[in-house]
Structure 1
Amino acid sequence: MLLAPQPTSAHPLRLVVCFLLLCGAGVLASPIITAGCPDRCVCDDQFVVQCAGQHLTTFPVNLPLATRQLIISNNRISELPPLALNYLSDLVYLDCSNNTLTEISESTFGNLRKLAYLDLSFNTLHRIEDRTFGPLASLVMLRMTDNPGLSDIHPDAFLENEALQVLDVSRNNLTALNITSLIALPTLRSVGLSGNPWSCQCDNEDLCLWVHLETFKFQDEGQTVCGSPADMQGRRLSEVGIQLRTLCHQSLDSLDYLFFVVIGFVIFAAGTVSAWLMGVVMVLYERYIKKKDDQLELENEEEGIEMDNASRGRTDRGNRSLKTSHTV
């Protein structure tokens, strides 16, 4: 007896078709925002993702959304993609040290408002813009050491990091640093500046004086020395602070007073000559106007005389005509 074949259920087939359609349409979650663990990384139940020393050349994908600590140090990563990084809104610890990062865009840390620790040491950064760290309202410690090409930090780079307590920019290529935003940070207690070729001239006077007045804040203060000019090379910034204050705000000497006297005399002479010339011009102008008025008045008088003569002539001719008519 042959058994009739059982009808094949179409339900599993429909599931497979739906799965393929979802994949083709891109509806499935991107690996950036899935809850897996990146290749060659270790993820634990404490939301720590460890990817150090894995020879990565790109930022890891497939990161758990709840990641709180991300360690990608000792790789060859050259870029931090803002889209991938900003999905990690719970991130509090980020170690990017010893990579090949060359720049950080203004949007890189746009959504990392909980980030408290950031390490960008041993990279190839060149410049820090004004809004690079702006979104990091909770940043407590920033390490940015050993970037040989880092020579410029925008004066407002740390303006919005009011929670910042530790800043280390040692062993870069900085010659000057605008401290306006730094001295305004209420919780800043430790600053590392050593190993930079600092310029100990008047344009960097505020930094040197700050190191002198608040020496206790500066790590390795003894190694924070001048790189230029030649006569100050090797001297500590804390030593030259008061000296620069004196040199850059000297009182006037005899040559300065002589200069002001000469300038005053020149200004006085120029004013006198200008006033005399103005007076001459005004006199000549008044004479010219008076002459024009006299000519105009004379012309009016002559026209009046001519009109009177013409009127008298017409009157005389009328009288003679009248007499002639009476005689006839």
Structure 2
Amino acid sequence: MAPARLLGVCSLLCAWSVVTGHLCSLNQQGWANCKGKNLLHAPSSLPSNISGVDLSFNSLVMPHHGTLLMHFPSLRSLNLSSNALWVLSPAVFSNLGALRLLDLSSCSITYLHTDAFKGLGNLHTLLLRNNNLQELEVPVFLPLKALFHLDLQHNALVSVDTLSLQLMESVPQVQLEGNPWVCDCTAQPLQRWLRRRQAVQVTCASPPGLRGREVAALDSQDLGCQMKLRFPRAVSTAQQITVTHSNTTTPPSGKGGRSWPYLVGFLVAAIGLSILIALAAKCKLFHKNFASYRHRPLPETSSIGDSPMEDGSGWDRGSSGRGGRESHPMPGAADLQAEDDDGFIEDNYIQPSEQLPEEEERESHLSI
């Protein structure tokens, strides 16, 4: 039943095309083939429910205002390759909300309006290869929320700004081969982007010394990028010129960023030494306090007479331990003080005149 119905629809479409007399042919999948018919405008006699149309190799004129195709809400594929379109006017595809594939290859496009792809929120594949695009403006890709494959091969792109590269980050497949890329310091964003995406065959076209080399494989020295040096105010201009010249002629050794381990080691050593000194001082103070606690307090003067030492028991124990010497009672504190006072008086208050007769008498006895 289904093949009979499909055959009937196909025969109906063929008969309708013969009756209306348009130059496009329709197939069973609802695809209109208008390739190479020297058309200036898209045929208005096409059915509105077609899913794809091939308008390649024609002489289509791009409208300055309005849309290129009218009333094709089910169109999912549009091939406009090999038409001299030159410039895409704003919102030229705005009525093709269901479009999934748009082929604009080899159309000699030199400029894309910022709203050229407005309304193509479901576009999956955009083919722009073999054109003359020299730059990509950032808002061009904003409406393409579902874009998966972007082909920009063999255009006239010499560089891409950072914002455009950020927008293209969300596109899984991007082809940039065959463009005359200028490999200077401005190509560093493109180089980083290519390294992240692991793209291949993106080569330099200029300068001549880097022609044919892959952009992702170059380093900052190859690109001619110089690091900006900051000098203190006290440094003279001649010294700045000398340092800058030495920096450009001599490649950096790469050891400047390795000084931090030495700084960390120095800090750790200083902290450890401080801890050892603090521990040593603390131990010394501890021994000093411990030694001070080992001394016995001296007995008070008022309690000497009443102490057990007056009865001589302690002295007797000490004497008996030294070989059985005769024990003598320890004199009291008052007697010791009196003897000391008497001796002090004798030593200090005997007059020299009293000592002279004794010395003369002593000498006389010696002479006899």
TM-score (norm 1): 0.59
Change (3 A) 1:255 1:212: farther
Larger radius of gyration: 2
Q: CA deviation at 1:165?
A: 0.8
Query: How large is the Cα RMSD of the aligned pairs?
Result: 3.0
Gaps of 5+ in 2: 1-18, 241-368
Report the Cα distance in structure 1 between the residues aligned to 2:30 and 2:176, rounded to whole angstroms: 33
Structure with bigger RCO (C-alpha 8 Å, 6+ apart): 1
Change (3 A) 1:258 1:86: farther
Change (3 A) 1:206 1:39: same
Q: Does 1:252 align with 2:229?
A: yes
Report the Cα distance in structure 2 between the residues aligned to 1:229 and 1:108, rounded to whole angstroms: 38
SS at match of 1:153: coil
Q: CA deviation at 1:180?
A: 2.4
Change (3 A) 1:128 1:37: farther
Q: CA deviation at 1:55?
A: 2.5
Change (3 A) 1:211 1:152: same
Contact persistence 1:94–1:117 (CA under 8 A): yes
User: Aligned ranges for residues 285-300 of structure 1 at < 5 Å?
Assistant: none
Contact persistence 1:174–1:197 (CA under 8 A): yes
Report the Cα distance in structure 1 between the residues aligned to 2:66 and 2:53, rounded to whole angstroms: 15
Report the Cα distance in structure 1 between the residues aligned to 2:20 and 2:137, rounded to whole angstroms: 37
Change (3 A) 1:169 1:207: same
Q: Does 1:207 align with 2:190?
A: yes
Contact persistence 1:61–1:84 (CA under 8 A): no
Change (3 A) 1:247 1:123: same
* From 161, 180, 184, the counterpart of 1:197: 180
Q: CA deviation at 1:94?
A: 0.6
User: Aligned ranges for residues 302-313 of structure 1 at < 5 Å?
Assistant: none
SS at match of 1:191: strand
Q: Runs of 4+ in structure 1 displaced over 3 angstroms? A: 80-84, 181-187, 244-249, 253-262
Aligned-residue identity in percent: 26
* From 220, 224, 227, the counterpart of 1:243: 220
Report the Cα distance in structure 2 between the residues aligned to 1:128 and 1:244, rounded to whole angstroms: 34
Q: What's the counterpart of residue 228 of structure 1?
A: 206
Gaps of 5+ in 1: 1-35, 263-328
- Aligned length in residues: 220
TM-score (norm 2): 0.53
Q: CA deviation at 1:245?
A: 10
Q: Does 1:183 align with 2:161?
A: no
Q: CA deviation at 1:56?
A: 2.1
Change (3 A) 1:252 1:125: same
